[in-house]
Amino acid sequence: MKKVFLVGVGGAGVSALAKYLNQDGYEILGSDEKRNENIDKLIDDYNLHFFPEHREENISEDIDFLIYSPAVPKGNPERKKARELGIREYSYPEYLGEISKEKFTVSIAGTNGKTTTTTMTAELLVEFGKDPTVVIGGVAKKFNSNFVSGKSDIFLVESCEYKGSFLHLHPNIIAITNITPDHLDHFGSFENYKKVFVNFLERAKGEQRVLICDFENENLKEVVEKARELNFKIIDYKKYEIEKLSLPGEYNRENARVALAVADYFALDLERAKKYLAEEFQGAGKRFDFLGEDKKGLKIYDDYAHNPEALEVLWGAIKEKFPRKKNILVFQPHLFSRTEDFFDDFVRTLISYDIVYLLPIYKAREKEEDFSIDSRKLFKALKDKNPNTFFCEDFSDCAEKIRGKNYGEDYVLFTGGAGEAEKVAKKLLK
């Protein structure tokens, strides 16, 4: 049996790729600094041989190739050892590109909404018997996985723009949910950020290349111009109306319109598709995700909202679903650079919430000492505008502070961010 080694195997994307490779006949080995639910599932269901540390001894000559997360540096000991042994390396985006060369690829891109839209599209294609292979950047509840194994030539993939990752893909259909400023730590400016989406169009393949987007959106103007220059078929997802949806919020209805546009391309029954999304769509983890209710009757949800726009639309969805309840947000900022770049926007958005608990910034790939920003600065700016703002030293401190309040059935609590804020929810629900 051929062997593949995955560095950063616990990540949302890399763990999905591990499942793909296993069902493709590979023995999978992998390492990560932290063991998580993704790794547990790979060990239990996909026979992953897991290494809890990055060490050169983990790499042997009989490994056919190595795949690494974009977050893993070139100096990683496993990557170095692989190069010494002449083992071929692929980044996660590069290997997705290899898969997409051979398949009819539907790429779901955009700043926000990618995971939900990919999940909606996946559920519809599976429901209608299209049997796609799917890679999602989150866990789809219907499949209890971030991966769906399919036998057709359709490859549906959530496509990340960070560091131009999606430029390795070879899509037939490109769907863009929206474009708003993000990842400025890498791109430097919003103009540069928009250009990577323009460049993505040049990766498209096939006789009839398709772009699905809101072509009246000013932020997509250059993308649409490029699509016309390259003779794309352009489909405006705004024309697909959907009144009812299992998830609240206009942004989720927009995500549904994108999914319906893809469904229409594959000639699916649109009325049946709309009914499915309204009544049966199960959604993705960390997307308006109901976690439970505590002893006082406080309903607790988790959401991925990690930038100002996502927090703003989440607030709108909460008000739509719970118009008579006070809302509580437990927010963990994600990245020092994002907090610094959008500081004023975070303040403007967060003061909309009735009550806010702020956690320390989730550093992810960054070093705290490289920045002058922290959550306390954000807390001070918010506290001046909303006295119901509280700073938490850690997850336990946050849970204790919340337990000390009289929040019951008249309130709803959301943990938000791309980090680990849901750990507060789990403590509250114990």
- pLDDT reading at 172 higher than 90: yes
At residue 105, does pLDDT exceed 90?
yes
Which numeric CATH code is attached to 102-279?
Answer: 3.40.1190.10
Q: For 316-364, what is each residue's pLDDT tens digit?
A: 999 999 999 999 999 999 999 999 999 999 999 999 999 999 999 999 8
Using the predicted structure, report yes or no on whether residue 71 has a pLDDT greater than 90.
no
179-206 residue pLDDT tens: 999 998 889 999 999 999 999 999 999 9
In DSSP terms, 301 is beta-bridged to 290, 414
User: Domain segments of the chain: what residues?
Assistant: 3-92, 102-279, 289-428
Q: Is the pLDDT of residue 155 over 90?
A: yes
Nearest to 422, CA basis, from 316, 327, 286: 286
The partner residues of 82 in beta bridges, in order of sequence, read: none
User: Tokens 């996946």 correspond to what residue?
Assistant: 122
Residue tagged 């987007």 (tokens): 213
Please state, as a whole number, how many other Cβ atoms lie within 10 Å of the Cβ of residue 67.
Answer: 25
Indicate if the pLDDT at residue 223 is higher than 90. yes
Say if residue 296's pLDDT is above 90: yes
pLDDT band at 3 (very low <50, low <70, confident <90, very high): very high
What's the whole-number average pLDDT of the chain?
Answer: 96
Question: 159: Cβ–Cβ under 8 A, 6 or more apart, which residues?
Answer: 107, 108, 109, 114, 165, 166, 169, 171, 200
Count CA within 13 A, CB hemisphere, residue 36: 14
Q: Report how far residue 273's alpha carbon sits from residue 251's, in angstroms, rounded to the nearest whole number.
A: 18
> For the chain, what percent of residues have pLDDT higher than 70?
100
Round to whole Å and give the CA distance between 138 and 213.
Answer: 22
pTM of the full predicted structure?
0.93
CA 86, CA 79: separation in Å to the nearest integer? 10
- Predicted local distance difference test score (pLDDT) of residue 187: 93
The answer to whether residue 32 scores a pLDDT higher than 90 is yes
Q: What is the pLDDT of residue 385?
A: 95
Mean pLDDT of 417-422: 96
Q: Largest Cα–Cα distance in the chain? A: 63
Cα 367 to Cα 208: distance, rounded to the nearest angstrom: 45
DSSP notation for 23-75:
HTT-EEEEE-SS--HHHHHHHHHH--EEESS--GGG--TT--EEEE-TTS-TT
Q: What is the predicted pLDDT for the residue at 37? A: 92
Non-local (6+) Cβ contacts of 32 within 8 A are 8, 9, 10, 11, 39, 50, 52
230 Cβ neighbours under 8 A, 6+ residues apart: 201, 202, 204, 209
Which pLDDT does position 231 carry in this prediction?
A: 96
Q: Which two tokens stand for residue 322?
A: 């719970």
Averaged pLDDT for residues 237-265: 96
Q: Is the dihedral of CA 154, 158, 160, 161 positive or negative?
A: positive
DSSP assignment of 375-400: HHHHHHHHHTT-SSEEE-SSHHHHHH
Residues 33 and 51: their CA atoms lie apart, in Å, by: 9
- Mean of the pLDDT values across residues 209-235? 97
Rounded to a whole number, what is the distance in angstroms from the first to the last CA of the chain?
44
Strands (E) located in 159-258: 173-176, 210-213, 233-236
* CATH superfamily of this structure's domain 289-428: Mur ligase, C-terminal domain (3.90.190.20)
What does the pLDDT read at residue 140? 96
CATH topology of domain 3-92: Rossmann fold (3.40.50)
